[in-house]
Structure 1
Amino acid sequence: MKFNKELDDIVLYEPGKPVELLIREFDIKLEDIIKLGSNENPFGSSSKVSSIIEMGSKKASLYPDDSMFELKDSIACKYNIKPNNIIIGAGSDQIIEFCIRAKCNINTKVLMARITFAMYEVYTKQVGAKIIKTSSIHHDINEFKALYDEHKPGVVFLCVPNNPLGECLDKDAVFDFISHTSPETLVVIDGAYQEFARYKDKRKGIEPKELLERFENVIYLGTFSKAYGLAGMRVGYGLAHNNIINALCKLRPPFNVSILSLDCAKEALKDEEFVQSTIVSTFKEMSRYETFANENGIKFIPSWGNFITFVLEEKHSSSEICDWLLKKGIIIRGLKSYGMNAIRITIGTAHQNDRVLESLREFFSSK
């Protein structure tokens, strides 16, 4: 059977390994597994969400409110914008797909960093659009400008902070680049980790209200999967001017987010104390990884997200480290598929990090 030729060049997105794999292949008990490969929230989710989940079975037979009014209203209040400036997706990656499908075809170009969130490339290839990547692995804004001028892309992705590496553009650099673009270019600001960046360095923080007030060709993406600890619920959102939101809504399937997910996201927004506790603990624990790297001569990329990337020398293999840790019940992420000999580690709880750092010391001391 033949399929669309655009699929021939697509490499499947490789998610972090599930805990079930370790239970099945290595006979490791669930309670002995540490999963730090997918940038989930190791602290779980707000206690306010637990009661919503317990009541969820009472609504399981019903379709959700497809207007998603209550969650939109809560997000609008959080960012001081209007509900009609919001679209809700099954994760922010669904909204990325909407952006590509709304703007791109085989004659369109899409600009992104050389190493960034893999789904930008996957969705672009699905519609046959041409991908333009920077030569730098980081977001070099001057290179973005030069490539923009040369290629005039229809869509630009800026991941702020960048996943999987962790570096983060200053807000001023982001705004400067957007000012450089045509009103016909859709600039996607992926703020999946903005809660962390905004806390660590105010210069990195992007306020959606200011973004929308200054620019009409931008969409800001947020998610409940990281700081809010709702990765399994799959809820993301896009904030933009009405004309962009209206176009994307034409691509949104009905009832694309479950009734339980909507209720949990709405409740999670009420517990900023949990979010702030998560962020403070994350950066406190991240400093332990930075100290470990410095003491062991390992290069790392300063991170504004909830993870850290170790860039390895040739004598160490990222695949070898990942496999070695896997057999100990520790899941991290190797970046070999990105063309880098590097590992990305989600910052866990203090107890989890004790085990990970002890295991890493054992690995490096044996080499």
Structure 2
Amino acid sequence: MKFNKVLRDIKTYEAGKPIELVVREFGIAPEDVVKLASNENPIGTNPAIAKVIRSNADIAHLYPDDSMFELKAALSSKFNVTDKNIIIGAGSDQVIEFISRAVLDENSSVLMSAVTFAMYEIYAKQMGAKVLRTASYEHKYDEFMEAFHMRKPKIVYICTPNNPTGDATSKEEVLAMIKAMHKDAIIVVDGAYMEYASAKDAKYAITPNDLLGYENVIYLGTFSKAHGLGGMRVGYGIAQVELIEELTKMRPPFNISTLSLAVAIEACKDESFVEESITLHQEQIKRYETFADENALEYIDSYTNFITYLFDETLNSTKISDALLQRGVIIRNLASYGMNAVRITIGTQKQNDIFFKHFKEVIA
């Protein structure tokens, strides 16, 4: 059987290991497994979400409202935009897929930082496009400008805060890059972790309204992180009407489920859960920073709900990740990104207690 030749150069996305895998392979009870690999919200979801799921269970056999009127209305109110500025995806990565399919072909390219969200590359390669990376994982103005003007990419990805590294790019720097790039490229500002960056330092806070003045820029957001709805798969893109209209042609009908739509609408109503999640995070991440300082470990200053530890030649990220996995602690090994580093989601106090107990033993 023959498959499309572009598939030869695509590596399957490596998701964070599930709890079920650890239970199967190492015989550890599910309640003893600590998952700090996929940047999920450690305190779960807003208690009101469970009520919404139960109350909508009897209509799960019905397709959702494909106009997504209520969800768009809630997002419109939250961000002070119109419903015509919004497109909904099954996670924000589906919106990335729409963008890729809309503008890329085998004669085009995309530009991103050296280490960033893997799906940018995967969707680009599915369309036969070339992938251009800067030298640094940070979004450095000079590096992006040099590559942009030399290669004329069709899509530019600015992931801030950046996944999987955790660093952020200031609003001033992002706007400077946007203004210096021509309008033939779509510029994607991926704000999946923006709630955490905004809470930490206002100069890194970017809202969709900051970008709506640019016809070729789209802002991406998600309910998977601060809102704790990773399992429901709801994301969104916000841009000028003309860009959203074109991307909507890529969207299949009913692309999020009836229950996903209902819980996303509910999540928009109560920001107190997001505030609670961020408060816990801000308290607990200090433990990771202090531990790194006390043990001479390098880390990237994080504006997300995770932290990245960078190792020297005396420590190996793969060996450390594997050893922790056998102890029931799941973290993300960044060796596949070409980094001798690990990414750790900041958990609850109890989860972090367990992590540090085992991590100390492993690195010793």
- TM tier relative to shorter chain: over 0.9
Match of 2:336 in 1: 337
Match of 2:223 in 1: 224
State how far apart, in whole Å, the 1-side matches of 2:207 and 2:191 are.
Answer: 10
8 Å CA contact 1:285–1:349 kept in 2: the answer is yes
Match of 1:323 in 2: 322
| Equivalent pairs, count | 364
State how far apart, in whole Å, the 1-side matches of 2:7 and 2:55 are.
Answer: 41
Match of 1:241 in 2: 240
State how far apart, in whole Å, the 2-side matches of 1:270 and 1:43 are.
Answer: 18
* Structure 2 counterpart SS, 1:348: coil
8 Å CA contact 1:81–1:209 kept in 2: the answer is yes
Match of 1:310 in 2: 309
Comparing 222-231 with 317-326, greater Cα deviation is found at 317-326
Unaligned runs of 5+ in 1: none
8 Å CA contact 1:48–1:271 kept in 2: the answer is no
Amino acid in structure 1 at the alignment position of 2:337: Y
Match of 2:291 in 1: 292
Match of 1:73 in 2: 73
Q: Does 1:119 align with 2:119?
A: yes
* Structure 2 counterpart SS, 1:37: coil
Using structure 2 for the length normalisation, give the TM-score.
0.99
Match of 2:28 in 1: 28
Cα-to-partner distance string for 1:241-298 (whole Å, 9 max, x where unaligned): 1111111110100000001001001101111111011011112101100100011111
Amino acid in structure 1 at the alignment position of 2:86: I
State how far apart, in whole Å, the 1-side matches of 2:234 and 2:320 are.
Answer: 32
State how far apart, in whole Å, the 2-side matches of 1:145 and 1:282 are.
Answer: 34
Cα displacement (A) at 1:314: 1.0
* Structure 2 counterpart SS, 1:219: strand
Q: Does 1:110 align with 2:110?
A: yes
Using structure 1 for the length normalisation, give the TM-score.
0.98
Cα displacement (A) at 1:55: 1.6
Match of 1:95 in 2: 95
Q: Does 1:9 align with 2:9?
A: yes
Amino acid in structure 2 at the alignment position of 1:71: L
Comparing 136-145 with 59-68, greater Cα deviation is found at 136-145
Match of 2:192 in 1: 192
Unaligned runs of 5+ in 2: none
1:53-68 to 2 correspondence within 5 Å?
A: 53-68=53-68
* Structure 2 counterpart SS, 1:52: helix
* Structure 1 counterpart SS, 2:299: strand
Q: Does 1:210 align with 2:210?
A: yes
8 Å CA contact 2:320–2:363 kept in 1: the answer is no
Amino acid in structure 1 at the alignment position of 2:289: E
Amino acid in structure 2 at the alignment position of 1:26: F
State how far apart, in whole Å, the 2-side matches of 1:20 and 1:259 are.
Answer: 26
Match of 1:50 in 2: 50
Give the share of equivalent positions with the same residue, in percent.
52
RMSD between aligned residues: 0.7
Cα-to-partner distance string for 1:10-52 (whole Å, 9 max, x where unaligned): 0000000000001111111111011110000011011111101
State how far apart, in whole Å, the 2-side matches of 1:211 and 1:252 are.
Answer: 23
Amino acid in structure 1 at the alignment position of 2:98: F
Match of 1:349 in 2: 348
Cα-to-partner distance string for 1:166-187 (whole Å, 9 max, x where unaligned): 0000000000000011122100
Cα displacement (A) at 1:56: 2.6
Amino acid in structure 1 at the alignment position of 2:103: K
Q: Does 1:153 align with 2:147?
A: no
Match of 1:257 in 2: 256
Cα displacement (A) at 1:234: 0.2
* Structure 2 counterpart SS, 1:157: strand
Cα displacement (A) at 1:364: 2.1
Amino acid in structure 1 at the alignment position of 2:236: Y
Amino acid in structure 1 at the alignment position of 2:306: F
Match of 2:362 in 1: 363
8 Å CA contact 1:45–1:230 kept in 2: the answer is yes
Amino acid in structure 2 at the alignment position of 1:355: I
Cα-to-partner distance string for 1:51-82 (whole Å, 9 max, x where unaligned): 01112321111000000010000000000000
State how far apart, in whole Å, the 2-side matches of 1:137 and 1:80 are.
Answer: 32
Runs of 4+ in 1 over 6 A off after TM superposition: none
State how far apart, in whole Å, the 2-side matches of 1:316 and 1:87 are.
Answer: 44
Match of 2:135 in 1: 135
* Structure 2 counterpart SS, 1:88: strand
State how far apart, in whole Å, the 1-side matches of 2:178 and 2:139 are.
Answer: 14
Cα displacement (A) at 1:137: 2.2
State how far apart, in whole Å, the 1-side matches of 2:363 and 2:154 are.
Answer: 46
